[in-house]
Amino acid sequence: MEGSGRHGFETDFILHVHRSLGRPNASEQRNSRTLIMQKTNASETAVAPRPPLATRPRSRQVDAGNLRGFEAAARLGSFTAAAEALALTQSALSRQIQTLEASVGVPLFLREGPRVRLSPAGEQFAAVVRQALHSLDAAVDGLRASQGRPKVQLTTFASLASQWLIPRLGEFQAVYPDIDIAVETFDSLSDLEHGGIDIAIRRLRRDNPLAQAAGTTYLFGEQITPVCSPALAQSGRALTSLETLPRCVWIDDVRIHSAPPIARANLQALSWGGWYAGLGLPQPEPLRWLRFNYTYQVIQAAVAGQGVAMGQIGLIRDLLAAGTLVTPVAQRVDAGYGYYLATRTGARPRPEVQAMLDWLQQQFAAWQAIAID
């Protein structure tokens, strides 16, 4: 009986999809074939016209696994942004869309260079898919909420979790001891709409479509500048000008040289290359390089006096205010990124999620209020 309920939902959904696109369902196709056979038996000379192959209705059911990619691309207007939101490669998402279009038998998107927009049939289909996925997600939310203690699931990138979030979570737990917290860290962006995540703390380029998505709140912008330990700054190497900076070891992110093109460009914008580009200067070679694969490791090495790192002020305001790190030169560069707080749109309101959102807003406001030189 459990299986029949699931298959009944899928059958109703497939029928709804075909009707929304103006295509006959399987029952209508069988009735049509029966009528043709009856007419043929009544008159051997009557031959039912056979539609051209390209216009015959397709009977293959839609693969539900491709619907998430379609919905994300429809919502964001970009295959690239949709792939990033779902933690897929762009080619994998494109294959999903192509398979889906082959299944329904009509183009769902109009390609316009790097951007895409829904075709008229795609508009109809998107409305059906959104409603179906929303119903499924709401059902899952209800099931999760009915089990055990209240729980909030957050996602962010590893360095923010290490440098900022984890040291502060104890304050939230002291005020809300009955709320369980789950923190997941990913280098890629998680799909908030369908991944079971309640809240995401994101750092995005300001031109990323996700920065303007529903349920997303801008917190503050990112600036970058060289930082080092006070001991290194006072070591006699005269780290007080652009000319003297290359005399030191530079600490950097090793992924700049190994990440995929999009991720590599993002890393470069937040590193030495982005800083010199923001100043309109070529990047020189330092005394030597020291590289790590996470930003928080880069910062730890700078605190330990092992070299000069490119500091992301959004992550190290407290270290600068306390004098744990200092800025040997005055130039700061806007990296073109911002920090954002994002929530799942359309989710059933839950007091534990709202409590976490309110607390995060307060914490980020206090963070921005920290005065640095």
Which has more pLDDT, 9 or 178?
Answer: 178
Q: How confident is the model at residue 236 (pLDDT cuts 50, 70, 90)?
A: low
Q: Which residue has the tokens 């080619």?
A: 91
Cβ atoms of residues 17 and 127 within 8 Å: no
Quickly list DSSP for 81-128.
Answer: HHHHHTT--HHHHHHHHHHHHHHHTS--EEEETTEEEE-HHHHHHHHH
**Which residues partner with 225 through β-bridges?**
311
Report pTM. 0.60
CATH number for the domain spanning 199: value is: 3.40.190.10
Helix axis angle, 2-20 relative to 120-145, nearest 10°? Answer: 160
Contacts of 177 (CB under 8 A, 6+ apart): none
Task: Look up residue 78 and give its DSSP letter.
Answer: -
- Quick check: 343 pLDDT over 70? yes
Residues 13 and 116 occupy one common structural domain: yes
- Quick check: 225 pLDDT over 90? yes
pLDDT at residue 322, rounded to an integer = 94
Residues 174 and 208 occupy one common structural domain: yes
pLDDT at residue 148, rounded to an integer = 66
* H-type alpha helices, 188-294: 230-233, 261-269, 272-279
Residues 75 and 154 occupy one common structural domain: no
Q: How far is CA 333 from CA 310, 336, 365, 369, in A?
A: 11, 9, 22, 20
Q: Which of 51-55, 149-153, 174-178, 192-196 has the lowest mean pLDDT?
A: 51-55
Residues 68 and 212 occupy one common structural domain: no
Domain count, the chain: 3
What is the span of the domain harbouring residue 211?
150-218+339-368
- Mean pLDDT of all residues in 49-71: 65
- Mean pLDDT of all residues in 245-274: 83
- Quick check: 42 pLDDT over 70? no
Q: How confident is the model at residue 87 (pLDDT cuts 50, 70, 90)?
A: confident
The phi and psi torsions of 364 (rounded to 5 degrees) equal -70, -35
Q: Which of 128-142, 176-190, 346-360 has the lowest mean pLDDT?
A: 128-142
Q: How confident is the model at residue 268 (pLDDT cuts 50, 70, 90)?
A: confident
Name the burial class of residue 288, with classes exposed (0-12), middle (13-18) and buried (19+) by CB atoms within 10 angstroms of its CB.
Answer: exposed
- Quick check: 261 pLDDT over 60? yes
Residues 137 and 278 occupy one common structural domain: no
- Quick check: 18 pLDDT over 80? no
Q: How confident is the model at residue 35 (pLDDT cuts 50, 70, 90)?
A: very low
Q: How confident is the model at residue 45 (pLDDT cuts 50, 70, 90)?
A: very low
What the block records as the tokens of 219 is 């917190």
- What DSSP element (H or E) covers 75? helix 67-76
Residues 167 and 316 occupy one common structural domain: no
Across the chain, mean pLDDT equals: 81
pLDDT at residue 142, rounded to an integer = 66
pLDDT at residue 272, rounded to an integer = 94
Domain boundary among 91, 108, 143: 143
The one-letter code for the residue type at 318 is: D
Cβ atoms of residues 337 and 270 within 8 Å: yes
Contacts of 310 (CB under 8 A, 6+ apart): 224, 225, 226, 227, 250, 251, 252, 270, 271, 272, 274, 275, 298
Residues 268 and 207 occupy one common structural domain: no
Q: Which of 114-123, 133-142, 276-285, 320-329 has the lowest mean pLDDT?
A: 133-142
- Mean pLDDT of all residues in 335-359: 91
- Quick check: 57 pLDDT over 50? no
What the block records as the tokens of 116 is 């895409």
Q: Encode pLDDT of 92-132 as tens digits.
A: 999 999 999 998 889 999 987 767 889 999 988 988 898 88
The one-letter code for the residue type at 212 is: Q
Residues 214 and 107 occupy one common structural domain: no
How far separated are the first and last CA of the chain, in Å rounded? 67
Q: How far apart (Å, rounded) are the C-alpha atoms in residues 219 and 298?
A: 24
Residues 291 and 312 occupy one common structural domain: yes
